[in-house]
Amino acid sequence: MKRSKKIVVLGGGISGYGSAVLAKKMGFDTFLSDAGKIAERYTKVLDEWQIEYEQQGHTMERILAADEVVKSPGIPEKAAAVKALREKGVPIISEMEFASRYMGKSRTICITGSNGKTTTTSLIYKIMCDAGMNVALGGNIGESFAYQVATSSPDWYVLELSSFQLDGMYDFKADVAVLMNITPDHLDRYDYCFQNYIDSKMRIVRNQHSRCAFVYSADDEVIAAELPKYELRQRLLPFAARQAVASSAGDGFMMPDGEIEIRVGRKSLTLNTQKMKIRGLHNSYNAMAAALATMAAGVEPEQVARSIYDFSPVEHRLEPAGERDGVEWINDSKATNVDSVWYALESMTRPVVWIAGGTDKGNDYSPLKEFARKKVKALVCMGLDNEKLIKEFSDIVPQVVSCSSLDEAMQSARSLAEAGDTVLLSPACASFDLFKNYEQRGQLFKEWVRNNVINK
């Protein structure tokens, strides 16, 4: 009797539990292992599916007996269990790679990039839903992709993909691939080598053929330098605001008057950015990418326009948190890298009290200095180690204040802000020194504003 293939899932978060459920459903000998504690909502599902699991430690003998390992994206290559598996030659794949084997005739729109991918993914999902399509949301946001493959059968999956998820993908193919931009991020996971990170992001085009589509920023110099290295047979759909790059398959361009022209095949669309609820250059890029991707997937231009005009900002991304006494407070906690903050500062039209800081990921702050010089009246550094921020901006911003807690930073920002100013939380750093994640950081910011500013 042929033995069942042994699948070990490393990590018991949203990616891991979904992968384990799919592996169990496909009849594999399934075991999930997590070095930490697994959330109760996930253990409940694992118990329901009668999946064996362990938490707060790894049984290496059992892990190394796997025929294949599905690794959660948050587990780095330097983890002891991963190193041991690599040494033994056990194949390690991502949830995306694993789930794609069993999704049948479903198709995918996959979005990646250093910045803008969550807003663009959410916008694409809204457009597809509004158009009446049978669609599911997954990847880095929404429900686990693998869990949805195990329990449903949509026509389309809209998947936000991080570089970590792309790293473990080999045979996976995106029917529509979207690459927003590539700027330095997560370099601590890529041996502090930018090219390693670039190579990871470019995996989004892997295995695409002539019936697929590739939507990408023609304004991004890194992408432009990479494209000649690849033999691209898919439909190319570039978008730009600075330099028009025409493509026979279609393209998107933002005109000097703020109108956006979109064309895919024989269908075209004009968007008025003044009618959009999401503002700023970065959101014009997001709208162009979403329009090209959804029109490539068959959505009619008129429906695309209606959905884009109706779309509201994503939480923690330039999200208005309140206004009082002429001072507006904006939560941009999701801006965990320099490029995100660049777009945030670019969109500011009032003097800025900028709250930044956290766990530095090897940031180069030089791209922000011109905006800081022109727009930032005060920088409030919020973190356990503010030395680098203070050194970089002391000669550029009139006032730089160092704070070691959220409350201290917010008190300082409030005292520095005057009528007509904007207090902007746009950290440029990860949140792990003072907070669990950027969501908690953003929620606490909004709560402080609500309790100490709006309802004072």
Whether 1 has a pLDDT exceeding 60, the answer reads: no
**Does 295 map to a domain?**
yes
pLDDT of residue 331: 95
Q: Which residue has the higher pLDDT, 210 or 338?
A: 210
Cα-Cα-Cα-Cα torsion 28, 33, 34, 38, nearest 10 degrees, comes to 60
Which of 114, 109, 110, 111 minimizes the C-alpha distance to 282? 114
Residue ending a domain, choose from 62, 93, 124: 93
CB atoms within 10 A of CB 293: 30
The CATH code of the domain that includes 111 is 3.40.1190.10
User: Are residue 249 and residue 179 in the same domain, yes or no?
Assistant: yes
pLDDT of residue 320: 87
Query: Contact at 8 Å (CB) between 418 and 350?
Result: no
Q: What percent of the chain has pLDDT over 70?
A: 99
User: Are residue 351 and residue 293 in the same domain, yes or no?
Assistant: no
Most trustworthy range by pLDDT among 72-81, 153-162, 338-347: 153-162
Q: Model's pTM, two decimal places?
A: 0.77
pLDDT tens-digit map of 265-292:
999 999 999 999 888 888 899 999 999 9
User: Are residue 165 and residue 302 in the same domain, yes or no?
Assistant: yes
Q: For residue 313, give the 3-state DSSP assignment.
A: coil
Which of 305, 291, 274, 181 minimizes the C-alpha distance to 237? 291
pLDDT of residue 414: 97
**Does 98 map to a domain?**
no
**Residue 144: which domain range?**
103-310
pLDDT tens-digit map of 304-352:
999 999 998 778 888 889 999 999 999 999 988 887 898 789 878 899 9
User: Are residue 294 and residue 380 in the same domain, yes or no?
Assistant: no
CB atoms within 10 A of CB 393: 20
Q: Which residue has the higher pLDDT, 118 or 133?
A: 133
**Does 198 map to a domain?**
yes
Domain count for the chain: 3
DSSP one-letter code for 178? E
User: Are residue 363 and residue 236 in the same domain, yes or no?
Assistant: no
**Does 1 map to a domain?**
no
pLDDT of residue 300: 98
User: Are residue 59 and residue 109 in the same domain, yes or no?
Assistant: no
Whether 134 has a pLDDT exceeding 60, the answer reads: yes
CB atoms within 10 A of CB 313: 18
For residues 91 and 67, give the distance between their C-alpha atoms in angstroms, rounded to a whole number: 7
For 369-395, the three-class secondary structure string (H helix, E strand, C coil) is HHHHHHHEEEEEEECCCCHHHHHHHCC
pLDDT tens-digit map of 394-452:
999 999 999 999 999 999 999 999 999 999 999 998 888 889 899 999 999 999 999 99
Whether 221 has a pLDDT exceeding 90, the answer reads: yes
pLDDT tens-digit map of 362-380:
888 988 999 999 999 999 9
pLDDT of residue 3: 67
pLDDT tens-digit map of 25-61:
999 999 999 999 998 989 999 999 999 999 999 999 9
**Does 112 map to a domain?**
yes
Average pLDDT over residues 207-227: 96
pLDDT of residue 188: 77
User: Are residue 129 and residue 252 in the same domain, yes or no?
Assistant: yes
pLDDT of residue 324: 92
User: Are residue 207 and residue 241 in the same domain, yes or no?
Assistant: yes
Query: Contact at 8 Å (CB) between 284 and 277?
Result: no
User: Are residue 298 and residue 370 in the same domain, yes or no?
Assistant: no
pLDDT tens-digit map of 171-204:
999 999 999 999 877 777 777 889 999 999 999 9
User: Are residue 84 and residue 115 in the same domain, yes or no?
Assistant: no
Chain mean pLDDT for the chain? 93
Whether 8 has a pLDDT exceeding 80, the answer reads: yes
User: Are residue 201 and residue 175 in the same domain, yes or no?
Assistant: yes
Residue ending a domain, choose from 287, 310, 333: 310
pLDDT of residue 158: 97
Average pLDDT over residues 113-120: 87
User: Are residue 215 and residue 350 in the same domain, yes or no?
Assistant: no
Burial 427-442 (b: 16+ CB within 10 A, else e): bbbbbeebbeebeebb
The CATH code of the domain that includes 409 is 3.90.190.20
**Does 264 map to a domain?**
yes
2 — pLDDT class (breaks 50, 70, 90) = low
Longest C-alpha distance within the chain, in Å? 77
Residue ending a domain, choose from 61, 93, 125: 93
The CATH code of the domain that includes 64 is 3.40.50.720
For residues 38 and 9, give the distance between their C-alpha atoms in angstroms, rounded to a whole number: 13
